[in-house]
Each structure stands twice: as structure tokens, then as C-alpha cells.
């Protein structure tokens, strides 16, 4: 009896049918079909290498290239039909190629395992998507920078330990997230170097594929997925460390326009669903990362079928971060700053440090000045008044260095302007940060 498994890439030595449940459990076409373009791109380069090695003729190579172009065209137009026997994207494309050109299609797989193929496809796909995420991150950073430039005069409370701390510029706060996102861009660039390694040395120099280097060990090439783990891990920084913190504070201090929704019960509500959804995705991306790292834990060397879990984790992480970066950019573009609420949130107690600095400028050691300012805060609390309402006489009971010039402390703009060192929140410092980012963004756009 002829084997029913003979059409599979791994068929031939099997007799009978695979259990339908196992067939479905083993298949990956439902999700890895999105690598169709990378798979065809890799195969076109590979057949050229086969021709140079004398394993296919010039005519066979041309037939295969023409057939692959037809397969590409069907995918591009959404006309490719997946059949029940298409176990994965490689099987599907090779099956369709054979339908187009016949027997020469069978030579495409010469010297190349499906594990080599999937490792190559994943690297090609991930390399391109890293570029896409980088572009979106740069767009988000640019939006933040330009918003910071326009609204540089707006002041708001800075926060530490979830409490209002000192006055800062709203722009200074926006740029703190731009700085964090710029590290994510650099992290993506570093990961791209690890991704852009060719698993199949036989066509390393193919100009179509443009890999930077070659894997030096074939066993490691098919079995390692460090680059997927690094990618998922980096996504957690992009998602959780930066965007989530941004969303949390943004909910507190802005009005929302295009990226808000209403309540199904209360007509007056304007909900910041865009930011809340971004915040909620942290668990999803973290879960993908943790789950895949657990899959990798303790695997034997070379390829094991456990690694089929790599693609869903990679795809879902990309899709999530791709959406988050776009929505976050939309939020930054359309939100309306609630400047009156920000100004109302400023209070004289935030200037307690400035009170200490006044004494420092008069020669008092900071530790002693800090203690004096703390005593002033206590007096204000005891009298149930604002810190700025304490009389000079009461302040002089704390230190004789206090005088009428203490009135100069109760100025939020003056407070902010004293931090003029690089990285500070003074107007000149924030302007320098804006110009730094504009230069940095321009340099990023010029990179290949």
C-alpha cells in the first residue's frame, strides 16, 4: 500500500494516515502563513545557491523562480488557497510551486531541512518587523518632542512615591518618556544585529537576503531562539516601563479627544480607554515572554518541536506592540492638556525644598537647612495654613537667617527656572533636550 504521508516534507517512511487530532495539533499553517513573503524570499535566494553549486540546472532554476513569483502573486492578491495537507507555510508554498511547474519543484528542498528554513524565515520576518516597530517608536518620540516644544511654558506637579513633589514643566515630563523610548529604539537596533545572522551558510552572500553574518555552528543555527527571547524581553521594556507609566499619569492630568470613549450608563463620562487598554497589554506581552522562556528552558540541542511555540509568541508580541505604539502616538497627538487642573494641583508645600535652598544660599549646610524647612512645614500644618502663609516671625523661630526675602520662594516659575543644569526642568534645559532629540531623530532616520 502506498504511503498517504508521501506528500509531506517528512513523509516516505510512514504508512497509513496520521491521527486527525495529531494532524491538527502538529500543524502551524494557521499562524505561520504570515511568513509567506519571507519564505518565498528565502527560497528564491536558495535556488540560486543550488544552481551555483550545480545541483539544479539554469533552466530548472528559472522555472522555480518563475513559479515562486506566481506563488508570491497569489499571496499578494489574497488568492492563495490553503489545503488540508498544508502543514506549514513551507509545505504550502512548495505544494503550490509543484502545481505550477511540476517535478523541478522537488529540487528546491535539496540540502535544506525545514528547520533551516523556518529559522531563516523567522529571522527575515523579524528583521523587517523590528524596522517597523523602530519607525513607529521614532514617530511616537517625535510627537512627544514637538508637543514638548509647543507647551514648554505649562507647569505641573512632579511626582515621587505617588505623591506630588516639586513643580516641573509639563514638557520635561513628556521628554522623560521620550528618553526612555529612545533606549527602546537602541535596544531594538541591538536585537536586530542578533536577528540578522544567516542560519544557512550556503547562500550567505546572497544580495537578496542581506544578512550581516553567518551562524558558525549548524546545530546551534537550527535550535537556538535567543533572538526571539530577546525580542519578547525588549518588548516588555517598551510596553511596561515606558508606555505604561506614561498612561498612568496621563489619565490624571489631561482631557481626551479622539482616543476616548463614553460610558454605556453615564452620559457625562469621557473614558480614557485608549490608555487603559495600553496599560492592560503589559500582562499579555509579559505572559508571552515568560511562557516562551519556559519553553526554551532545558531543551536539548538542535531543533526540537517545542520550538514551534516560538512563532505565536513572536507574532502576538509584535501585533500588540505595533498597536500600542500607534495608539499612544494618536493619544499624544490629540490629547488636550488640562492646564487649569495642573495649575490648581501646584501648592506651596511643593516649595519646601526651595525654602531649604534659601538658607543654603545664606551659608547653612543643606542637612541643617532641610531640617529647618521641615520644621516650617510642621508649623504650617499645625496652624492649618499653606506654607507660604507662615509669617517671617514664625520662620525666624526656626532660623534667624529667614528674612523678608523669603517671599521670593513662593514663585513656581522661579522654582522651575533654578534647575538650569543639563537635564533640568528650566526652560533653557528643556529646550536643549528638545534640540538634542531633534538631532537624534534626524540621525536615526538616516541610518540604513
Tell me the catalytic residues.
161, 263
Give yes or no for a contact between 72 and 40, defined as CB atoms under 8 angstroms apart.
Answer: yes
Report helix, strand or coil for 28. coil
Q: What contacts 141, CB < 8 A, 6 or more positions away?
A: 178, 181, 182, 185, 437, 441
Cross-strand pairs, 261: 271
Nearest to 250 by CA among 232, 274, 228: 274
Place of cell 494618536: 330
Burial of 421 (0-12, 13-18, 19+ CB in 10 A): exposed
- Residue that has been written with the C-alpha cell 496520521 in this structure: 18
Best CA proximity match to 166, nearest among 443, 444, 428, 409? 409
Q: Are strands 197-198 and 163-169 parallel, antiparallel or unpaired?
A: unpaired
CA distance 422 to 424: 5
Q: What is the 3-state secondary structure (H, E, C) of 306-356?
A: HHHHHHHHHHHHHHHHHHHHHHHHHHHHHCEECHHHHHHHCCHHHHHHHHH
Euclidean distance between CA atoms 429 and 417, whole angstroms: 9
Amino acid at each position: 500500500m502506498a504511503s498517504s504521508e508521501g506528500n509531506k516534507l517528512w513523509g516516505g517512511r510512514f504508512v497509513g494516515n496520521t491521527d486527525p487530532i495529531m494532524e491538527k495539533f502538529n500543524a502551524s499553517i494557521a499562524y505561520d502563513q504570515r511568513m509567506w513573503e519571507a519564505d518565498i524570499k528565502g527560497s528564491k535566494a536558495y535556488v540560486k545557491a543550488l544552481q551555483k553549486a550545480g545541483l539544479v540546472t539554469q533552466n530548472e532554476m528559472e522555472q522555480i523562480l518563475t513559479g515562486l513569483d506566481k506563488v508570491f502573486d497569489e499571496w499578494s492578491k489574497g488568492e492563495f488557497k490553503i489545503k488540508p495537507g498544508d502543514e506549514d507555510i513551507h509545505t504550502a508554498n512548495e505544494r503550490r510551486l509543484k502545481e505550477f511547474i511540476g517535478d523541478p519543484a522537488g529540487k528546491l528542498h535539496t540540502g535544506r531541512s525545514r528547520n533551516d528554513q523556518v529559522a531563516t524565515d523567522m529571522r527575515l520576518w523579524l528583521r523587517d518587523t523590528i524596522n517597523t516597530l523602530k519607525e513607529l517608536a521614532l514617530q511616537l518620540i517625535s510627537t512627544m518632542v514637538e508637543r514638548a516644544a509647543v507647551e514648554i511654558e505649562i507647569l505641573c506637579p512632579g511626582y515621587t512615591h505617588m505623591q506630588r513633589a516639586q513643580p516641573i514643566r509639563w514638557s520635561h515630563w513628556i521628554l522623560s518618556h521620550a528618553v526612555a523610548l529612545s533606549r527602546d529604539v537602541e535596544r531594538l537596533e541591538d536585537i536586530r544585529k542578533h536577528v540578522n545572522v544567516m542560519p544557512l551558510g550556503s547562500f550567505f552572500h546572497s544580495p537578496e537576503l542581506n544578512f550581516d553574518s553567518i551562524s558558525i555552528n549548524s546545530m546551534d543555527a537550527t535550535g537556538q531562539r535567543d533572538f526571539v527571547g530577546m525580542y519578547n524581553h525588549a518588548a516588555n521594556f517598551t510596553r511596561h516601563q515606558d508606555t505604561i507609566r506614561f498612561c498612568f499619569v496621563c489619565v490624571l492630568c489631561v482631557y481626551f479627544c479622539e482616543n476616548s470613549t463614553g460610558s454605556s450608563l453615564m452620559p457625562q463620562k469621557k473614558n480614557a480607554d485608549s490608555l487603559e487598554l495600553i496599560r492592560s497589554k503589559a500582562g499579555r506581552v509579559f505572559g508571552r515572554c515568560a511562557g516562551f522562556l519556559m519553553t526554551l528552558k532545558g531543551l536539548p540541542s538542535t531543533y526540537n518541536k517545542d520550538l514551534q511555540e516560538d512563532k505565536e509568541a513572536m507574532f502576538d508580541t509584535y501585533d500588540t506592540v505595533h498597536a500600542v505604539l500607534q495608539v499612544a502616538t494618536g493619544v499624544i497627538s490629540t490629547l488636550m492638556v488640562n492646564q487649569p487642573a495642573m495649575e490648581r494641583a501646584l501648592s506651596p508645600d511643593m516649595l519646601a525644598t526651595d525654602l531649604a535652598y534659601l538658607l543654603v544660599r545664606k551659608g547653612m549646610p543643606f542637612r541643617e537647612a532641610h531640617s529647618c524647612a521641615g520644621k516650617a512645614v510642621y508649623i504650617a500644618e499645625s496652624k492649618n495654613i499653606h506654607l507660604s502663609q507662615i509669617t517671617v516671625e514664625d520662620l525666624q523661630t526656626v532660623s534667624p537667617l529667614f528674612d523678608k526675602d523669603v517671599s521670593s520662594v513662593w514663585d513656581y516659575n522661579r522654582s522651575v527656572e533654578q534647575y538650569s543644569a543639563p537635564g533640568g526642568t528650566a526652560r533653557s534645559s528643556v529646550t536643549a533636550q528638545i534640540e538634542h532629540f531633534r538631532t537624534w531623530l534626524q540621525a536615526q532616520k538616516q541610518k540604513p
